[in-house]
Amino acid sequence: MLIGVTAQSRDSEGLLRTRIWGLLEPYLRALGQAGASIVILPPQPTERLPTLLRRLGAVLLPGGVDVDPAEFGEEPLPALGEVDPVRDGLELWVARYAAEHGLPALGICRGVQVMNVALGGNLYQDLPSQGFGTLQHYQKAPPPALGHSLEQVGESPLDRVFPPRFRVNSYHHQGLKRLAPGLRAAAVAPDGLVEAVFLEGHPFYLGVQWHPELLPDHWGLFEVFLRAVEGMRGS
């Protein structure tokens, strides 16, 4: 089963100063244990993407740098972090395509934010300076330590994996603000921040704000993701 994952990037070292586009290893491990074969999707002209995406069973949007507030009509706040307009362009296009064509999609951390912006929602650019200072959304402890808890809200793909209340890791300072039309909350943090959403009427379009790829106990989410893809192929 082919799963397309949009590429992350960093600056190269040495004499040749350029960008390296690839994927962090935890995503490879989490998807691999669920039975996926992975195709990395680097930035490219969008007119080439439909032919490629039609060959894939699903797409995953991974974590990374901040989403540029220009994409949801705002000026940058002082606490805005690094942005990558090239990556924004690729992932927003892929997120819209997946929503419009029924292509299963999973968004992780930055990925859930991309999903929301792609469909018409917006973001808090910086949670601590925008009224969310009582909960540690960017925890200092590395994996596998857990941060705050989440409460599930109604039925969603999450209830196939997690109990009604469960704990997650947390490494973000942006967050979902106004949800896009059609997106529904699946889990909420104790301070009221929505940290998981799904698209109503879609076979599988789920975004989560934490990093399940870093937590083997949460890898069941990737198995549910791939079972949804298999279910579509068998129908």
How far, in Å, CA of 46 to CA of 48, rounded? 5
Rounded-to-10 torsion of CA 138, 139, 142, 146: -120
The DSSP line for 30-43 is HHHHTT-EEEEE--
CA torsion sign for 88, 1, 219, 223 is positive
Quickly name the fold that domain 2-234 has. Rossmann fold (3.40.50)
Residue pair 112/189 in contact (Cβ under 8 Å)? The answer is no
Please say if the pLDDT value at position 235 is more than 70: no
pLDDT tens digits for 48-95?
A: 999 999 999 999 999 999 999 999 999 999 999 999 999 999 999 999
Among candidate residues 137, 172, 173, 211, the one labeled active-site is 211
Average pLDDT across the chain, whole number: 96
Tokens of 9: 């990037």
Beta-carbon count within 10 A of 37 CB: 11
Among candidate residues 71, 109, 137, 172, the one labeled active-site is 109
Cis peptide before 203 (omega within 30 of 0): no
Among candidate residues 172, 173, 213, 218, the one labeled active-site is 213
Q: What is the model's pLDDT at position 13?
A: 77
Domain limits of the chain? 2-234
- Residue 230 falls in the annotated catalytic set: no
- Contacts of 58 by beta carbon, 8 Å cutoff, 6+ apart: 1, 3, 4, 103, 104, 105, 106, 204, 225, 226, 228, 229
User: Sorting pLDDT into bands at 50, 70 and 90, what band is 191?
Assistant: very high
Q: What is the model's pLDDT at position 80?
A: 98
Distance from chain centroid for Cα 36: 17
pLDDT tens digits for 3-50?
A: 999 999 988 877 777 889 999 999 999 999 999 999 999 999 999 999
- Residue 109 falls in the annotated catalytic set: yes
